């Protein structure tokens, strides 16, 4: 079957861990161990986040004063190269030499009229004092908001409309390649009035972009790998229960505390609804079991009631 796995950016650089190349490499190696059995048994497409990596590039760019920090679309392109390289190399070291790989630079179109642009919410780069923040805002036209004990730049997170490189991705899958694409949700771009495509200072949700690609590729299984082993009801209470199978409508009706689970749940539900295929949310370390239907939360039209792990 055809399987797409979306890796969280934090699967590659863990929260609180120093953002060194060594740490990132070690985490990619762990992810590669989890991905390898899927790569052996199935057609595999890998997407990944890039939050911590873009953050580091923004901090490094800010620290070097002679050249203005590069815009977010370019930083996103850099992280697609960096992370794609590490995944391709580490997974290539496990799978047979004959297995072809391709990391495809991925650009995504967003709508200039997306309401997210009126209400930027994603914090990026260094923490400034109030005075610095006011100066930077005036100088660069950035939107700033309180975060991390000071002020940070905030950017929009518009919806992905299409990924431009779908045809090469499809052609390579058909040839048996493991394809790494849609890194960081894809590089955000938009058409302006002159009919030309420009980069945009924004970030695209990685799960939504991955769901879009999974849908277009009509994958049989779309897995969002994260740090929790399933979606829970009553999370953080003694009644907490891990969901094994649930329908799109039922999971959309659940309430989640703010955080990263809501976008995953929406991406999973939309994928399952539109394709009739299975979306799963679970732990990176459980990937093989998720592919066998024995771990993680499966979102599928075929579920007529909510089932739980006992």
Report, as residue numbers or ranges, the catalytic residues: 9-10, 122, 206, 264
Tokens of 269: 């539900």
- Quick one: angle between helices 51-63 and 72-92, nearest 10? 120
What lies within 8 Å, CB to CB, of 238 at 6+ separation is none
Residue 227 C-beta: closest distance to its own copies, Å: 22
Cα dihedral sign for 230, 231, 235, 239?
negative
Q: Of the two residues 70 and 309, which places its CB atom closer to its own copies in the complex?
A: 70
> Considering the complex, what minimum distance in angstroms separates the CB of residue 274 from its own copies?
25
In whole angstroms, how far apart are CA 103 and each of 2, 89, 124, 183?
17, 11, 25, 9
Nearest to 215 by CA among 273, 171, 301: 273
Compute the residue count for the chain. 310
Residue number with CB closer to its own copies (80 or 207):
80
Cβ atoms within 10 Å of 306's Cβ, excluding its own: 17
The least distance separating its own copies from the CB of residue 14, rounded to whole angstroms, comes to 14
**Spatial distance between the Cα atoms of 26 and 41, rounded to a whole number of angstroms:** 24
Cβ closest to its own copies, residue 72 vs residue 278: 72
As a whole number of angstroms, the distance between CA 292 and CA 160 comes to 30
305 by Cβ neighbours in 10 Å (0-12 / 13-18 / 19+) ranks as exposed
CB 17 to its own copies: min, Å: 11
Nearest distance from residue 7's CB to its own copies, in Å?
Answer: 16
Q: How far is the CB of 149 from its own copies (least distance, A)?
A: 16
For residues 34 and 281, which CB has a smaller minimum distance to its own copies in the complex? 34
Kindly tell me which of 59 and 233 has the beta carbon lying closer to its own copies.
59
Point out which residues bind its own copies (CB under 8 A).
Answer: 18-21, 56-57, 59-68, 70-71, 73-74, 77-82, 84-86, 88-89, 92-93, 100-105, 107, 164-165, 167-168, 171-172, 175, 177, 180, 187, 189, 196-197, 199
Judged by CB, which is closer to its own copies: 88, or 286? Answer: 88
C-alpha angle with apex 67: 66 to 71, nearest 5 degrees? 155
Asked whether 181 and 99 are in contact (CB, 8 A), the reply is no
């Amino acid at each position: 079957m055809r399987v797409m796995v979306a890796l969280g950016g934090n699967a590659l650089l863990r929260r609180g861990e120093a953002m060194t190349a060594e740490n990132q490499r070690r985490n990619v190696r762990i992810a590669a161990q989890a991905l390898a059995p899927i790569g052996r048994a199935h057609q595999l497409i890998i997407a990944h986040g890039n939050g911590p990596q873009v953050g580091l590039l923004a901090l490094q760019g800010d620290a070097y004063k002679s050249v203005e920090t590069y815009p977010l679309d370019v930083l996103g392109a850099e992280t697609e190269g960096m992370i794609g390289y590490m995944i391709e190399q580490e997974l290539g070291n496990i799978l047979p030499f004959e297995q072809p790989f391709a990391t495809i630079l991925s650009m995504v179109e967003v709508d200039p009229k997306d309401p997210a642009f009126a209400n930027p919410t994603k914090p990026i780069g260094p923490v400034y004092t109030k005075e610095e923040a006011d100066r930077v805002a005036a100088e660069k036209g950035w939107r700033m908001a309180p975060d991390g004990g000071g002020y940070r730049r905030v950017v929009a997170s518009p919806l992905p409309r299409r990924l431009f490189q779908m045809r090469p991705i499809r052609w390579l899958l058909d040839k048996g390649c493991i394809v790494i694409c849609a890194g960081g949700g894809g590089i955000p771009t938009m058409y302006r009035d002159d009919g030309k495509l420009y980069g945009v200072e924004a970030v695209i949700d990685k799960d939504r972009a991955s769901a879009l690609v999974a849908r277009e590729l009509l994958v049989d299984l779309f897995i969002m790998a994260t740090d929790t082993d399933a979606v829970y009801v009553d999370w953080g209470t003694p009644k907490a229960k891990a969901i094994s199978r649930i329908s799109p409508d039922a999971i959309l009706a659940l309430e989640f505390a703010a955080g990263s689970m809501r976008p995953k749940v929406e991406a999973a539900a939309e994928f399952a609804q539109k394709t009739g295929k299975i979306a799963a949310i679970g732990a990176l370390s459980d990937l093989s079991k998720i592919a066998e239907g024995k771990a993680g939360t499966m979102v599928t039209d075929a579920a007529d009631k909510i089932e739980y792990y006992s």
